[in-house]
Amino acid sequence: MKLFLKRFLLIITGVVLSLVVLECGLRLAGWTISSYQCYKNDKILKNKSKYRIMCLGESTTAGQYPVQLQKILDKKYPNKFSVIDCGVPGTLLQSIFYNLDDNIQKYSPDIAICMMGINDIICDGYDSKREKNFFYTNNVKIYKLFLLIKENIKNLLKEKFLYAQTEDNDVMSKVILLKNSGHFSDVEKILLEILRENPDNETAFVELSVLYSDYLKKEDFGYSMAKEALNKGFSVRKERYYNIIFKYNRDNSNKIFSEFKYYLDKAVFEDIDIFSTEIRYFLYGFIKDYITLEQKNKILQIMNKDNKDYNLLAINAIEQKEYQKAREYFNKAEEERLTIYNSKANKIYNFIVKKLTDNNIKVICMQYPVRSVKPLQEQLKDEPYYDKITFISNEKLFKDALMKKDYNEIFSDQFAGDFGHCTSLGNTMIAKNIVNILEKIIS
């Protein structure tokens, strides 16, 4: 009995020590793992500026308006502001919250600008059962690791299509995990090996073509694979092949227009259902300037099959110079956002703002271009820290600009229906709008 008790205590002690070591290791890793964005932020931290501005968001923040904001502030107020870009492409609000303590500790911001949540609206990717755990245990790295592992498992289950045509599920599971963690070269090697054994493995084929086009920046390879897949009649996630082809032709000045038109017509007349998938806005945004009115109406009919997409219809009306109709559609879209909203995403958004105000950081909640700031104000109005928030609206600024300029001068795509990623001009508009508000905050 004594021997058993002694062994049991040794095991418990070993587990506790392992957890302590793991916790320390994870905290150390949080400081040592860096990316190019972190490298740039670290350089900015060396500036002895009076105010530090931390920008939180997704791909509409990462490398976007913070770049223009820093340039404008440097010119107008030399050495007074440092802009820290904490935008992460494709991220969800729960991930922003997950990293928030580390970002606050590392950057010690005076001001935080939040333009975030669009991916949650599109993907509905928040788990309400975790909100209390996120809020109260976010400082424990081991628990955060558990949540991250759990999230990866959840993602694996969501991507069942990857297993459909794969002989070895374990291999494709590894592919997903490596891709999610940014090990793109390793993913390439695995997918190439799968395709060497079975060139017609559609799952591996689409994964590799997307990897080349969007992650490894080997657009020519991705484009060739996408054409090959469609010519062979591959059906697994075929919308991804069209997305690669459309994007390549939009960005490539040496495109063969007859080839582009062939796949455009094929999409509209043979594979019209691709415009009902989750990437429909990207597809439409890449081709809308190259299609006939008949083709456009056919696509819009599919995109509005179940419910009217007032955001998309508003932009379409503006492009047709039907401004009154555009206003009506924008108003209807806003009415929907005030009544039909993602309550789960709203809660985690509010948790983020609370965390910032609790750390005495001045918070700026900024709405996306074109959209009204009212829904954002409504979701936060009952919070005790509401009076500490400054709101920025980009609605009128961008709506007015769209009535004077071509859409493509302001946005580079249309991924959200009524707006997309900004061009240099669009990001400058946002940055100038922020500067006007900053001057009031610090005065």
167-204 residue pLDDT tens = 445 677 777 777 756 688 898 999 999 999 999 999 99
**Phi, psi angle pair for 252, to nearest 5°:** -100, 115
More confident residue, 102 or 29: 102
Q: What would the CATH number be for the domain defined by 36-126+342-407+422-442?
A: 3.40.50.1110
Best CA proximity match to 87, nearest among 124, 121, 60, 122: 60
Assign 158 a pLDDT band (cuts: 50, 70, 90).
Answer: very low
pLDDT category at 28 given cuts 50, 70, 90 is: very low
Residue 167's pLDDT is: 43
Give residue 180's pLDDT: 59
Burial class of residue 63 (count of CB atoms within 10 Å of its CB; 0-12, 13-18, 19+): middle
Residue among 365, 368, 371 at smallest CA distance from 353: 365
Instruction: Please give the pLDDT value at position 173.
Output: 73
Residue 97 burial class via C-beta count within 10 angstroms: exposed 0-12, middle 13-18, buried 19 and up: buried
**Residue owning tokens 């802009």:** 83
pLDDT per residue over 307-317, tens digit each? 678 988 999 89
| Confidence band for 255, pLDDT divided at 50, 70 and 90 | low
Task: Record the tokens describing residue 172, joined without a space.
Answer: 């494709």
Average confidence score pLDDT of the chain = 82
pLDDT score at 164: 41
Distance CA 326, CA 320 (A): 9
Of 438, 440, 411, 415, the C-alpha closest to 72 is 438
- Rounded to an integer, the average pLDDT of 208-235 is 93
DSSP string, 282-335: HHHHHHTTTS-HHHHHHHHHHHTSSS--HHHHHHHHHHTT-HHHHHHHHHHHHH
40 or 147: which leads in pLDDT: 40
Residues 6+ apart with CB under 8 A from 412: 420, 421, 422, 423
- Which has the closest alpha carbon to 94: 32, 151, 142, 153? 151
Q: Which one is predicted more confidently, 213 or 159? A: 213
The Cα-based distances of 117 to 43, 151, 270 in angstroms read 28, 18, 35
pLDDT at res. 350: 97
pTM above 0.75, yes or no: no
Q: How far apart are the first and last CA of the chain?
A: 73
CA–CA dist 22, 141 (Å, integer): 9
Mean pLDDT, rounded, for 235-246: 94
> Is residue 368 predicted with pLDDT exceeding 70?
yes
pLDDT for 17 beyond 90: no
Phi (first) and psi of residue 52, to 5 degrees: -110, 130
Mean pLDDT computed over 252-268: 85
Q: What are the boundaries of each domain within the chain?
A: 36-126+342-407+422-442, 140-219
pLDDT bracket for residue 166 (50, 70, 90): very low
The answer to whether residue 8 scores a pLDDT higher than 70 is no
Tally of helices (H runs) and strands (E runs) in the chain: 23, 5
pLDDT on residue 252: 81
pLDDT at 50: 87
Torsion 312-317-323-328 (CA) sign: negative
Rg (CA), the chain: 24
Q: What H or E segment, with its residue span, contains residue 439?
A: helix 424-442
Looking at residue 105, its pLDDT comes to 96
Least confident of 65-74, 139-148, 237-246: 139-148
Task: Assign 3-class secondary structure to 62-130.
Answer: CCCHHHHHHHHHHHHCCCCEEEEEEECCCCCHHHHHHHHHHHHHHHCCCEEEEECCHHHHHHCCCCHHH
8 Å CB contact between 98 and 347: no
Reduced to 3 states, what is the DSSP secondary structure of residue 357? helix
pLDDT of residue 354: 97
Which residues, including other chains, have CB under 8 Å from residue 183's CB and lie 6 or more apart? none
